[in-house]
Chains A and B, each alone.
Chain A
Amino acid sequence: EIVMTQSPATLSVSPGERATLSCRASQSISDNLAWYQQKPGQAPRLLIHSASTRATGVPVRFSGSGSGTEFTLTISSLQSEDFAVYYCQQYSSWPPLTFGGGTKVDIK
C-alpha cells in the first residue's frame, strides 16, 4: 500500500498571502496524484489531477507541481473562500487508492 503523507497538518495564512502545501508518497507514483478541497460541511471537490492539471472551473491561483514522491499544491494569493482542508490522493497503485491525512488552511 502506498502511504501518502501531507505537511503541515495546519497552515495559518493571512488573506492575500501565498500558501504552499506538501504531499509525499512512500514510493514513486509518477504524476498520478490528485488534490481535493473540502470546506466545512461540504463534500470534497477535485482541484488538480495528474499532479498539475487544474480541474474545470478551478481558479488559476491554484497550481500543482511535482512528480515521483514529492508534490506541492500552491495557492498564490489566498482568498477568504480558500480556507479549507486539502487532501492529496494517489492513483498509481491500487487497491487501495490512498489519501493523505489532509492539511487545514486557516486564517492567521
Chain B
Amino acid sequence: DVQLVQSGAEVKRPGESLRISCTASGYRFTSNWIGWVRQMPGKGLQWMGIIYPGDSETRYSPSFEGQVTISADKSTSTVYLQWSRLKASDTATYYCARLVDNWGVPYWFDPWGQGTLVIVSS
C-alpha cells in the first residue's frame, strides 16, 4: 500500500527554524509529485507547493513562495518542509500528499499523510 508517514508534532518559539518530514513507501518515490497543504486551526485547505523527487523540480504557491522551502531526499524517500524563521501565524496542521499525475502534470492528492501539528508560540 502507498503510505506517507509524517514526523511528530512540534512546539516552537517565533523566530526559530523548523523542518518537518514526510516519508513515502509502497511506490516508486521518484515517479510522483508530493505536495504540502496547510490547514490553519478551524480553517480550510491551502496548497503550499509541490516537489518532483525525481529531479527535485519544485513549484510554490505565490502565497508561500519565499516563506518555506520544500526539498526531497531520494535515499530515504523523504520530503521536507522547512522554515528559517517561524511566526505565530505558521501555527497549523501541515499535510503531505502524493499527487496522481498524467505525463508529469499533477492532478489530485492521494493518499495523504496523517498531518503534523506545528504550534508557534512565545
* A contacts, CB < 8 Å to B: 1, 32, 34, 36, 43-46, 49, 55, 87, 89, 91, 94-102
A108 to chain B, nearest CB (A): 22
A61 vs B7: C-alpha distance when bound (angstroms): 35
B106 A99 Cβ-Cβ under 8 A:
no
A100 to chain B, nearest CB (A): 8
B47 A97 Cβ-Cβ under 8 A:
yes
* B contacts, CB < 8 Å to A: 35, 37, 44-47, 49-50, 59-63, 95, 97, 100, 106-115
B107 A55 Cβ-Cβ under 8 A:
no
B108 A89 Cβ-Cβ under 8 A:
yes
A87 vs B63: C-alpha distance when bound (angstroms): 20
A43 vs B107: C-alpha distance when bound (angstroms): 18
A41 to chain B, nearest CB (A): 9
B46 A91 Cβ-Cβ under 8 A:
no
Q: Given A95-B59, A96-B61, A96-B62, A44–B109 Cβ distance below 8 Å?
A: yes
A102 B115 Cβ-Cβ under 8 A:
no
A95 vs B95: C-alpha distance when bound (angstroms): 18
On chain B, the residues within 8 Å of A99 by CB distance are: 44-47
